[in-house]
Amino acid sequence: MKDEYKNSNKNIGVIITNLGTPDSPTKKDLKKYLNQFLMDRRVIDLPRILWIPILKLIILNVRPKKSAKLYKSIWTNDGSPLMVFSKNILNKLVEEVKENIAVVLGMRYGSPSIQEAMDTLKKKNISKILILPLYPQAGSPTTSSTFDVISDHVKNLNWMPNLRFVSGYHDHDKYIEALAGSIDQRIKKNGTPDLLLFSFHGMPQRYLEKGDPYYCFCQKTARLTTERLNLPEESFKVAFQSRFGSEKWLEPYVDRVLIDEARNGLEHVQVISPGFSVDCLETLEEISIQYRELFLNNGGKKFDYIPCLNDTDTHISLIKTIIDENVQNW
């Protein structure tokens, strides 16, 4: 990658953020990563006096080993798929954005951190910073958590940068166009499915009841995408994955939808997960492996996963457009 700071005329910084990933698929690195992730009050909002003993004494002594095994199943020679795609996106954006814009990468959990990204821009005397979380459907555990980190980082600084923050893009025309294009390509390649399933990451139902708009954003993304494709309402469903714990989460659940549909005779399902900007554990392992087996073992015949936008030219064009729209008049 070329040195994006070699020219002295860069006066705008863009931090591309995502959830993050462990440094390696080992128990040690998973324990470190999960501790940071699960200590986030936006992710687990239980009272600390109740949650910390559960986390420290039980979860962090059991889950890291299991999670490490899952990560190993998708790990590449270049590292975590999420990080590989994120770095590819960064490298392509550096070549595409205007000359006065510096683009850096910062992860909510793990490294490189958002704080490190902020410090990098500060050292280059860049005081106009756009934060772009790659979460199309804004939600408290993702987009709001990212804002928390930014706020915590700058509140103790004597240097206060000019900040702009992108809070989602669930209905952006180029995003909808990109999703529709991915689905259309897969249909042309593998045929029209009996069901197109939109799988979004879940969250506890009470988050919605407390005012988190994430659920509504997911529904709108699916509606706009299927309208773009002129698909009839009965040809698709929206469901939610990755739940854990015993409380009620957003429904319907992906696994139960797949089981019910397969047992009722549905043969071909295509699954897309628009809430993930790049493929990661939740798509490559949970959907492509676990849910595939679940569907086929209950009578389904063909399971077709549609990859995330990843580092495709279409995705790069979308991100560049969002950047251009948000740095205007700066």
The CA R_g of the chain, rounded to the nearest whole Å, is 20
pLDDT at 8 over 90: no
Task: Dump pLDDT digits (tens) for 191-220.
Answer: 999 999 999 999 999 999 999 999 999 999
Q: Is residue 188 part of a domain?
A: yes
What pLDDT does 39 receive? 97
**Domain hosting residue 210, numbered range:** 173-306
CA dist., res. 260 & res. 144, Å (int): 34
151 and 186 in a single domain? The answer is: no
- Claim to verify: residue 29 and residue 142 sit in the same structural domain: yes
Beta bridge partners of 182: none
- What is the amino acid identity at position 47? P
Question: pLDDT tens across 280-298, in order?
Answer: 999 999 999 999 999 999 9
pLDDT at 230 over 90: yes
- Nearest Cα neighbor of 298 from 265, 251, 254, 252 is 265
Residues 160 and 229 in one domain: no
Cα–Cα distance, 253 to 264 (Å, whole number): 17
CATH number at residue 76: 3.40.50.1400
According to the model, what pLDDT value does residue 5 have?
A: 43
Q: Which residues contact 130 (CB under 8 A, 6 or more apart)?
A: 12, 13, 14, 15, 163, 164, 165, 166, 323, 326, 327
Provide the pLDDT for residue 3: 46
User: Do 177 and 165 share a structural domain?
Assistant: no
Angle formed at CA 178 by CA 174 and CA 179, multiple of 5 degrees: 120
Instruction: Please write the tens of the pLDDT for every residue from 167-178.
Output: 999 999 999 999
pLDDT band for position 6 (cuts 50, 70, 90): very low
pLDDT confidence of residue 1: 44
Are 23 and 159 found together in one domain? Answer: yes
Q: What are the pLDDT digits (tens) for 82-130?
A: 999 999 999 999 999 999 999 999 999 999 999 999 999 999 999 999 9
* Domain co-membership, 78 together with 142: yes
Q: What is the pLDDT of residue 7?
A: 45
Q: Domain check: are 182 and 294 in the same one?
A: yes
Kindly indicate the confidence band of residue 226, based on its pLDDT and cuts at 50, 70 and 90.
very high
Residue 145 lies in a domain: yes
Whether residue 68 sits in one domain with residue 44:
yes
Q: What is the pLDDT of residue 94?
A: 95
Q: Which residues pair with 302 in a beta bridge?
A: 268
Q: Are residues 23 and 41 in the same domain?
A: yes
Are 195 and 158 contained in the same domain? Answer: no
Report the pLDDT value the prediction gives residue 318, as an integer from 0 to 100. 98
**100 phi and psi angles, rounded to 5 deg:** -90, 5
Q: Could you report the per-residue pLDDT of 20-51, keeping only the tens digit for each?
A: 999 999 999 999 999 999 999 999 999 999 99
For residues 87 and 205, state if they share a domain: no
Q: Are residues 50 and 77 in the same domain?
A: yes
**Rounded mean pLDDT, 55-81:** 97
Cβ 136 vs Cβ 274: under 8 Å: yes
pLDDT in the model for residue 82: 98
The per-residue pLDDT of the chain, averaged, comes to 95
- Mean pLDDT along residues 154-170: 93
* pTM (2 d.p.): 0.94
- pLDDT band for position 9 (50/70/90)? confident
HEC profile of the chain: CCCCCCCCCCCEEEEEEEEECCCCCCHHHHHHHHHHHHCCCCCCCCCHHHHHHHHHHHHHHHHHHHHHHHHHCCCECCECHHHHHHHHHHHHHHHHCCCCEEEEEEEEECCCEHHHHHHHHHHCCCCEEEEEECCCCCCHHHHHHHHHHHHHHHCCCCCCCEEEECCCCCCCHHHHHHHHHHHHHHHHHHCCCCEEEEEEECCEHHHHHCCCCHHHHHHHHHHHHHHHHCCCHHHEEEEEECCCCCCCECCCEHHHHHHHHHHCCCCEEEEECCCCCCCCHHHHHHHHHHHHHHHHHCCCCEEEEECCCCCCHHHHHHHHHHHHHHCCCC
